[in-house]
Structure 1
């Protein structure tokens, strides 16, 4: 409900052209960014591992969890096209930040967290996906099957700066 309220508030303050949903065939850039018709779209309130990031596999090994998250997102989106994204805001990189839905109505952002391919980025989601995170953790899904570093911490460490999470 909080997510719907904040999305509604964002839509109310932007020009109607920017508030129009973007619909089309999504190309996956990484685990939390897609492209539709040349427009980069950052998925609101979720944070997926970076493409270079590795995670524990729960059996003593590691796997490329960021790469895997992107592959899983691509498969999920391909199951029901097109993808529709509702404008929330623009980020500092000028990407559109959105909550997106498959043609069958499934919430892409929620699915990413529920499947363990991303975490609820509470700083932005205000906990909208906390239940999905708990479900993924309890099932040991995706990144939750082993040890991993939060994506925002991994980015900060790589850039030698303070984490933004």
Structure 2
């Protein structure tokens, strides 16, 4: 009887969590919002983490994660939304599809280049992503590491450890090669960024921009 009651309580809680939600949005980041007391992970999309930086050979490093959060807040924070829950994730968040003024929020973010289709969970927003890539909208063409890969690196302790030691906003690693004393800098998203350690005693240092690194005589790592 006790087990039955416990199961009934869990079932009731799940039903409440999976109920449709409506009300003003509070934006947490590019793919997470809150309505009332319910934290919602938007279904089928993935956006850069707040601490994530973007950049490429042709584009300087810039804080794309915080930029995305600001853009989504500017467009949707405080607006009324209707969300239909589809699941509960492993962190206890409600996973839901949300609409603002009749428009699918996930579709709008992917179409605007502010988030990616999260193909591990859904292919619903592939058409919007293809259109955004063709236009070069938002993040496309900005040298962004996929949010999933960024999180994996952080879980391994690489990026999390090294970013924690970096001065605010200065995440480019100036490394001195053990062979030939070549001065090479690594930017987030490159192959060896996560495993590169900075030793000031060896003359290694952090840079706040690629221009700063190049002016100091360092060259960008090839990968």
TM-score, normalised on structure 1? 0.80
**Unmatched segments (≥5 aa) in structure 2:** 1-12, 158-223
With over 3 angstroms needed to count, the CA separation of the structure-2 counterparts of 1:58 and 1:35, relative to structure 1, is: farther
**Larger helix proportion of the pair:** 1
Match of 2:5 in 1: none
Question: Could you say which residue in structure 2 is the equivalent of 1:66?
Answer: 65
Q: Take 1:106 and 1:149, find their aligned partners in 2: how far apart are those partners? A: 28
Q: How does 1:1-165 map to 2 (within 5 A)?
A: 17-56=16-55, 59-78=58-77, 81-102=79-100, 104-125=101-122, 127-160=123-156
Computed over aligned residues only, the root mean square deviation of the Cα atoms, in angstroms, reads 2.1
Q: How far apart are residue 73 of structure 1 and its match?
A: 1.3
Offset of 1:151 from its aligned partner? 0.2
Distance in 1 between residues matched to 2:92 and 2:82, nearest whole Å: 19
Over 3 Å counting, the alpha-carbon distance change for 1:27 and 1:15 in structure 2 is closer
Q: Deviations over 1:54-101 (max 9, x none)?
A: 1127852122111111111112214x8301111000000000000101
CA contact (8 A) 1:57 1:63 kept: no
Distance 1:57 1:46 in 2: 23
Residues 17 and 94, structure 2, Cα contact 8 Å, conserved in 1: no
Name which one, 1 or 2, has greater alpha-carbon Rg: 2
Separation in 2, partners of 1:28, 1:158: 23
CA contact (8 A) 2:18 2:88 kept: no
Do the aligned residues in 1 keep the contact of 2:18 with 2:94 (CA within 8 Å)? Answer: no
Compared CA separation, residues 58 and 28, structure 1 to 2 (3 A): farther
Greater relative CO, 1 or 2 (CA 8 Å, sep 6+): 1
Cα distance in 2 for residues equivalent to 1:81 and 1:146: 29
Distance in 1 (CA, whole Å) between partners of 2:85 and 2:76 is 18
Unaligned runs of 5+ in 1: 1-13
Shift of 1:16: 5.4
CA–CA distance in structure 2, aligned partners of residues 118 and 38 of structure 1 = 24
- Answer whether contact 1:33 1:42 (CA < 8 A) is retained: yes
Partner of 1:10: none
